[in-house]
C-alpha cells in the first residue's frame, strides 16, 4: 500500500468515521459514499455491535478499512489481536502508545508491513485538566511528543494526534511517520465532544496526512454533498 499522502488527492485522505450503533446504518452510509471517501473507520461502538462481519461487509461494498480499536493490553494479547485484525484485511489499525515499549514492539512484530499501524497519543476529547486527573503533569504538546517518540523508536508507522499537535509532530519527524488527525470540524460546524478541533484545510496545512471526519458528514442531510464540500474547502 502506498501511504504517501502527498501523492493522494484530498478525497483519498479523508477517513469517514462509521460511529453507528448498528451495521444496517453503517452499511447504508457506505453504499452512499463508497468509493468517494478514502477509508471508513470502524471503531469500538460499531465493532462491538457487529463484530468481524461488519469489516467484511464494508470491504464487500468496496470500502477500505481503518480499524480503530485502540488496543491496550499485555504485549502477547495485543500482538495476537493485531494478527487477527490483519487477517480481516484492514489497512489501518490503532494501538495506545501509553501501553509502553514492549506492547508497541509486540504489535509492530505482528503487523503485516502493508498495514499502517498507528499509535494513539492523546484523545481529542482530553484537555490538560483531564491529563492532570490521570497523573500527567506535563503540558499537552510535550506529552504527545513523548509518546510519539516512544512509538517511532519502537517502529510504529504513524500516530493519531489532535490537529493542534500536528505541526510540532511534523517538525520533529518530517515524513518519517504518518499523522492521522481526528477532531476535524468544517468551519461553522458544532465542536460536539471535541476539545482540540481544527478545520480540514488548517489541519492539512499543518501537516496532517489523513483526516478522520464523522458527524459533519454522517449526520448531514446529504452526506455525499457534505463530503464533496469538505473536499472543496480543503484545497
CATH classification of the domain holding 188: 3.20.20.70
> Quick check: is 33 in a domain?
yes
- Rounded to whole angstroms, the Cα distance separating 185 from 211 reads 10
Provide the number of structural domains found in the chain.
Answer: 1
> Quick check: is 1 in a domain?
no
> Quick check: is 214 in a domain?
yes
> Quick check: is 128 in a domain?
yes
Q: Are 174 and 145 in contact (CB under 8 A)?
A: no
Q: Are 28 and 218 in contact (CB under 8 A)?
A: no
> Quick check: is 182 in a domain?
yes
For residue 42, which of 58, 28, 60 has the smallest C-alpha distance?
Answer: 58
pTM of the model: 0.91
For residue 145, what are the domain limits?
Answer: 10-234
Question: Would you please indicate which residues are annotated as catalytic (active-site) residues?
Answer: 70
pLDDT of residue 224: 94
Helices (H), the chain: 23-33, 44-50, 52-60, 75-87, 101-110, 128-133, 140-153, 166-173, 200-206, 215-218, 223-234
> Quick check: is 3 in a domain?
no
> Quick check: is 211 in a domain?
yes
Q: Which long-range contacts (CB under 8 A, 24 or more apart) does 100-104 make?
A: 100/150, 101/150, 101/153, 101/154, 102/75, 103/72, 103/73, 103/74, 103/75, 103/78, 104/150, 104/151, 104/154, 104/155, 104/156
Question: What grid cell was written down for 116?
Answer: 499502517
> Quick check: is 4 in a domain?
no
Q: What is the pLDDT along the chain (235 residues), one digit of tens a residue?
A: 555 655 567 889 999 999 999 999 999 999 999 888 889 999 999 999 999 999 999 999 999 999 999 999 999 999 999 999 999 999 999 999 999 999 999 999 999 999 999 999 999 888 899 999 999 999 999 999 999 999 999 999 999 999 899 999 999 999 999 999 998 887 655 555 545 568 888 999 999 999 999 999 999 999 999 999 888 877 6
Amino acid at each position: 500500500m502506498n501511504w504517501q499522502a502527498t501523492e493522494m488527492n484530498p478525497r483519498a485522505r479523508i477517513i469517514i468515521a462509521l460511529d453507528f450503533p448498528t451495521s444496517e446504518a453503517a452499511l447504508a452510509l457506505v453504499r452512499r459514499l463508497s468509493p468517494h471517501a478514502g477509508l471508513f473507520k470502524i471503531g469500538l461502538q460499531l465493532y462491538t455491535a457487529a463484530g468481524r462481519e461488519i469489516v467484511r461487509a464494508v470491504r464487500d461494498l468496496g470500502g477500505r478499512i481503518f480499524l480503530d480499536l485502540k488496543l491496550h493490553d499485555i504485549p502477547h494479547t495485543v500482538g495476537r489481536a493485531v494478527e487477527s485484525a490483519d487477517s480481516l484485511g484492514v489497512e489501518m489499525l490503532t494501538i495506545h502508545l501509553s501501553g509502553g515499549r514492549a506492547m508497541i514492539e509486540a504489535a509492530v512484530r505482528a503487523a503485516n508491513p502493508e498495514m499502517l499501524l498507528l499509535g494513539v497519543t492523546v484523545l481529542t476529547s482530553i484537555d490538560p485538566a483531564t491529563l492532570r486527573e490521570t497523573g500527567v503533569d506535563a503540558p499537552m504538546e510535550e506529552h504527545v511528543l513523548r509518546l510519539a517518540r516512544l512509538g517511532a523508536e519502537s517502529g510504529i508507522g504513524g500516530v493519531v494526534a489532535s490537529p493542534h499537535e500536528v505541526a510540532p509532530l511534523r517538525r520533529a519527524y518530517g515524513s518519517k511517520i504518518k499523522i492521522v488527525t481526528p477532531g476535524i470540524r468544517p468551519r461553522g460546524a458544532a465542536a460536539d465532544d471535541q476539545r482540540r478541533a481544527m478545520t480540514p484545510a488548517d489541519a492539512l496545512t499543518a501537516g496532517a496526512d489523513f483526516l478522520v471526519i464523522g458527524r459533519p458528514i454522517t449526520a448531514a442531510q446529504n452526506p455525499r454533498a457534505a463530503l464533496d464540500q469538505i473536499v472543496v474547502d480543503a484545497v
